[in-house]
């Protein structure tokens, strides 16, 4: 039926390393250019984890040129996903913090597994960093200004039930039904003529995408100088240590 399934596989936690981002972007571009493909189901092959988000090791202890290169690729993937002409449905089968949530938010419909261990949200503030304006814009577009304002400041990671209530996801289903539900949702969306759906999607998303497109270079500079600060590097160091200690 012209649907591809993209399974994220970058063990152990599907963090979006530079290599992973690049591969993701290239795969998406290939699908976009393949006229037989109308929809993509985005999911994960890592048990219990959709994606741990951006790779902290790409943002810690590197040089400014690396940060700039990394951020350019993060922007590129986001623009491709957010403005895709294809129908994107995410089958969120695990934890989905920060950049993981960002991937899901780019989709047209989000189905999440009903497992309270899995959480989703833009938790950047918990790391001592700030969600960039285009992450924020997409959050506002999805859950509204008030909910986004609160969730961004608190760095809230929502359980599936909370995520459904606030609108971060569209549907929560038993874990063993995530993929079948994503397929049935896709079937419904495929019934809509592509040209009218694509024009409508473009109308809804263009202003948000253009907001980044018109200031991509400045955004890269902002990120690079922000992430290079000693205080920010210290926060990331502490967060990475906390992740290590969690293991005991
Ligand atoms: C005014 C504003 C001005 C300027 C602003 C300009 C720009 C904005 C600046 C910055 C924005 C940058 C945006 C960043 C967005 C992000 O995505 S940041 C990443 C956020 N991710 C997280 O917080 C997730 C952290 N991880 C976890 O919570 C858990 O690992 C997870 C629940 C995913 C899985 O748990 P579990 O199965 O128990 O696994 P472990 O915790 O044991 O982890 C296994 C190993 O993986 C390493 N790891 C985990 N997450 C990441 C990651 N995101 N990147 C790299 N590595 C990760 C973890 O350390 C373990 O490693 P080890 O085995 O110990 O070596």
Q: For 40-88, write each residue's pLDDT tens digit.
A: 999 999 999 999 999 999 999 999 999 999 999 999 999 999 999 999 9
Q: Best substitution site from 8, 10, 12, 13 to test ligand 1's pocket, by max atoms within 8 Å of Cβ? A: 13
Give the number of the atom of ligand 1 that is nearest the alpha carbon of residue 48. Answer: 37
- Over residues 185-223, the pLDDT tens digits come to 999 999 999 999 999 999 999 999 999 999 999 999 999
Active site residue 124: yes
Mean of pLDDT values over 116-122: 97
Q: Topology of 2-191 in CATH?
A: 2-enoyl-CoA Hydratase; Chain A, domain 1 (3.90.226)
Instruction: Assess whether the previous peptide bond of 70 is cis (omega < 30° from 0).
Output: no
Residue pair 84/33 in contact by the 8 Å Cβ criterion = no
> Does ligand 1 lie within 6 Å of residue 219's CB atom?
no
Q: Average pLDDT, stretch 146-162?
A: 98
Please indicate whether residue 155, judged by its CB atom, sits closer than 6 Å to ligand 1: no
CA distances from 219 to 99, 115, 146, 215 (A): 17, 36, 25, 6
pLDDT over 70 (residue 248) = no
If you average pLDDT over residues 168-180, what whole number do you get?
98
Count of C-beta atoms within a 10 Å radius of residue 14: 26
Q: Which member of 99, 100, 121, 155 is catalytic?
A: 99
- Residue 246's pLDDT band, with cuts at 50, 70 and 90, is confident
CA-CA distance, 206 to 211, in Å (whole number)? Answer: 8
- Whether the predicted pLDDT of 1 surpasses 70: no
Angstrom distances, CA of residue 133 to CA of 11, 121, 244: 29, 15, 30
Q: What is the pTM of this model?
A: 0.97
Please tell me the distance from the alpha carbon of residue 177 to that of residue 102, in angstroms, as a whole number: 23
Residue 173 CA: distances (Å) to CA of 15, 34, 169, 189, 217: 25, 31, 11, 18, 41
* Predicted confidence (pLDDT) at residue 145 exceeds the cutoff of 90: yes
- Percent of the chain beyond pLDDT 70? 99
Q: Please name the residue whose Cα sits nearest to atom 28 of ligand 1.
A: 52
CA 26 to centroid of ligand 1, rounded, Å: 23
Catalytic residue among 73, 123, 155, 236: 123
């Amino acid at each position: 039926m012209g649907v591809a399934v993209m399974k994220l596989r970058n063990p152990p936690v599907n963090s979006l390393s530079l290599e992973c981002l690049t591969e993701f972007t290239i795969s998406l571009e290939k699908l976009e250019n393949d006229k037989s493909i109308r929809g993509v189901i985005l999911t994960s092959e890592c048990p219990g984890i959709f994606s741990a988000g951006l790779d902290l090791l790409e943002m810690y202890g590197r040089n400014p040129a690396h940060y700039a290169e990394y951020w350019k690729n993060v922007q590129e993937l986001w623009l491709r996903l957010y403005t895709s002409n294809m129908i994107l449905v995410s089958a969120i089968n695990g934890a989905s913090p920060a950049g993981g949530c960002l991937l899901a938010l780019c989709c047209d419909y989000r189905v999440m597994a009903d497992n309270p261990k899995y959480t989703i949200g833009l938790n950047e503030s918990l790391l001592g960093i700030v969600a960039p304006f285009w992450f924020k814009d997409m959050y506002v577009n999805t859950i509204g200004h008030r909910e986004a304002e609160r969730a961004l400041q608190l760095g809230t990671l929502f359980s599936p039930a909370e995520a459904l209530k606030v609108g971060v996801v569209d549907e929560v289903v038993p874990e063993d039904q995530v993929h079948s539900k994503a397929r049935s949702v896709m079937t419904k969306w495929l019934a809509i003529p592509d040209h009218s759906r694509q024009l409508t999607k473009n109308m809804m998303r263009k202003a948000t995408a253009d907001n980044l497109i018109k200031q991509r270079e400045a955004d890269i500079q902002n990120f690079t100088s922000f992430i290079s600060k000693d205080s920010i590097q210290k926060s990331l160091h502490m967060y990475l240590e906390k992740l290590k200690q969690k293991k005991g």
